[in-house]
């Protein structure tokens, strides 16, 4: 171990010690951006970038456990990603299925898929449902795997689900218009019953949500990191937690 590694480890420990447990987020959302740019920067194939990004997930969840986080939402595949070249989409789905299976095989985390799996190939969707169903009794944090996810579609699906529920009850449109509120729609989101994300981290230097958790992020804090996702380090994660801990969350008050 060189001097640089020793200094890096000391800085990590100092960062971790300065983050008060009571000021740590319960739910973290992560926009794992930059796999393709990382691959280009190091002279690798795009699929290699996606695989390195998938490999990084285990590290992140370990760090989240150590920090006392309860829920992590990982944006693995967006609805916009369906527009990428067919061979890249095939590689992505293969890597995502392998990543979810790898997380499940640890026996440590409860994994849920959130997104429009009905838009994905049938074999892929069935496989994910089988893998995640086996994790429902696992201890540890809840991991939302956002696959074929788009924030606008989630809201549209929530409203559609709400309308169907009340149609089955025989509620008229006029009656529904009188009672519908924010809570009614929230109850039909993919993440219903979970705390809203306290902190959303996006890697690669981009400073936008791109449709991630549009409804749930109304009061979230955002942290934008320059590192590409495959190069995201524990020190980057701790800096995000430190930044979050220093924020004054007023919720509009």
Q: Would you please indicate which residues are annotated as catalytic (active-site) residues?
A: 33, 81
Terminal Cα-to-Cα distance of the chain (whole angstroms): 50
CA angle 49, 55, 18 (to 5 degrees): 110
- Residue pair 237/248 in contact by the 8 Å Cβ criterion: no
CA angle 132, 125, 115 (to 5 degrees): 80
Q: What is the 3-state secondary structure (H, E, C) of the chain?
A: CCHHHHHHHHHHHHHHHCCCHHHCCCEEEEECCCHHHHHHHHCCCHHHHHHHHHHHHHHHHHHHHHHCCCEEEEEEEEHHHHHCCHHHHHHHHHHHHHHHHHHHHCCCCEEEEECCHHHCCHHHHHHHHHHHHCCCCCCCCEEEEEEEECHHHHHHHHHHHHHHHHHHHCCCHHHHHHHCCHHHHHCCCCCCCCCCCCEEEECCCCCCCCCCCCCHHHHCEEEECCCCHHHCCHHHHHHHHHHHHHCCCCCCC
């Amino acid at each position: 171990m060189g001097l640089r590694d020793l200094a890096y480890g000391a800085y990590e420990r100092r960062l971790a010690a300065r983050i008060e447990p009571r000021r740590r987020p319960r739910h973290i959302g992560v926009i794992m951006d930059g796999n393709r740019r990382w691959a280009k920067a190091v002279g690798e194939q795009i699929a290699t970038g996606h695989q390195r990004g998938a490999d990084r997930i285990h590290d992140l969840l370990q760090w989240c456990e150590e920090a006392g986080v309860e829920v992590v939402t990982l944006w693995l595949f967006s609805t916009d990603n369906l527009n990428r070249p067919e061979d890249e989409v095939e590689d992505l789905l293969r890597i995502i299925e392998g990543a979810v299976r790898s997380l499940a095989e640890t026996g440590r985390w409860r994994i849920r898929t959130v997104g429009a799996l009905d838009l994905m190939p049938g074999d892929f969707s069935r496989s994910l449902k089988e893998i995640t169903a086996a994790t429902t009794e696992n201890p540890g944090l809840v991991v939302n795997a956002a696959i074929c996810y788009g924030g606008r579609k989630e809201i549209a699906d929530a409203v559609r689900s709400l309308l169907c529920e009340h149609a089955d009850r025989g509620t008229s449109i006029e009656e529904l218009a009188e009672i519908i509120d924010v809570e009614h729609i929230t109850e039909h989101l993919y993440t219903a019953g979970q705390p809203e994300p306290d902190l959303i981290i996006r890697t690669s230097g981009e400073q936008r949500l791109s449709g991630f958790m549009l409804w749930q992020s109304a009061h979230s804090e955002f942290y934008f990191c320059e590192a590409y996702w495959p190069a995201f380090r524990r020190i980057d994660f701790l800096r995000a937690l430190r930044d979050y801990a220093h924020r004054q969350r007023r919720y509009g008050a």
